[in-house]
Amino acid sequence: MIKKITVALSFLLLSGCAAMNASGPLFETHVSVPEGKALIYLFKPDSALKDGVTTCLELTLDDIEQGCVRGSGYIVTEVDVGKYQAALVNKSAFGYKLLQFELEVSSGEVVYLEYAFARDVNGESLDTRSTHVGLYIFEDHVVAKLREDEALQKLSSLKLSI
């Protein structure tokens, strides 16, 4: 009986992880940004299987949820101009702020943020955190601000996280 329950729970866990990649429509370039607003794109080009993040990463600005990005996906949010305390929150870890950084946006600006695990990102690193147990460091989590040309190239193959 215990063996059957263990097998069933393992199957449910694995099927849930497989579903953690974005499933919305492919990325389309934005048309324009309203006056007094900015757009923030957060994307995660790696699949959940590759980077081990089997939950969505929630983007918060001043502790207000803006959306949740899944593997091989992106989110976009329209925000007011200003300075924010931003964080990427691991939804499966009861609100653990995996990465935290300050983000300031201007009117008409489009900001592109990339999350990566265990690989380098070409861009301005906003926060990095190592995963470790004891003295052994596994890999680094990083969020970086990318130039538009680099970001659009990566976004072109990603789906909206829904």
pLDDT in tens, 142-156: 999 999 999 999 999
- pLDDT score at 19: 54
pTM score, two decimals? Answer: 0.81
b/e sequence 47-82, b meaning 16+ C-beta within 10 Å: bbeebebbbbbbbbbeeeebbbbbbbbbbbeebeee
- pLDDT score at 111: 97
- In terms of average pLDDT, the best of 32-41, 51-60, 129-138 is 32-41
| Contacts (Cβ under 8 Å, ≥6 apart) of 100 | 85, 86, 87, 88, 127
Supply 90's token pair: 């691991």
Q: Residue 78 — left, alpha, or beta (φ > 0 → left; ψ -120 to 50 → alpha)?
A: beta
pLDDT in tens, 119-136: 788 889 898 888 756 666
Predicted confidence (pLDDT) at residue 15 exceeds the cutoff of 60: no
pLDDT in tens, 54-80: 678 899 999 999 999 988 899 999 999
- pLDDT score at 94: 66
Q: What angle do CA 45, 154, 73 make, to 5 degrees?
A: 35
pLDDT-derived band of residue 49, with 50, 70 and 90 as boundaries?
low
Q: What does the domain layout of the chain look like in residue ranges?
A: 2-160
Predicted confidence (pLDDT) at residue 105 exceeds the cutoff of 60: yes
User: Distances from the Cα of 101 to the Cαs of 21, 84, 86, 113, 123, in angstroms?
Assistant: 25, 9, 5, 11, 15
Predicted confidence (pLDDT) at residue 10 exceeds the cutoff of 50: no
> From CA 5, how far away is CA 48, in angstroms rounded?
25
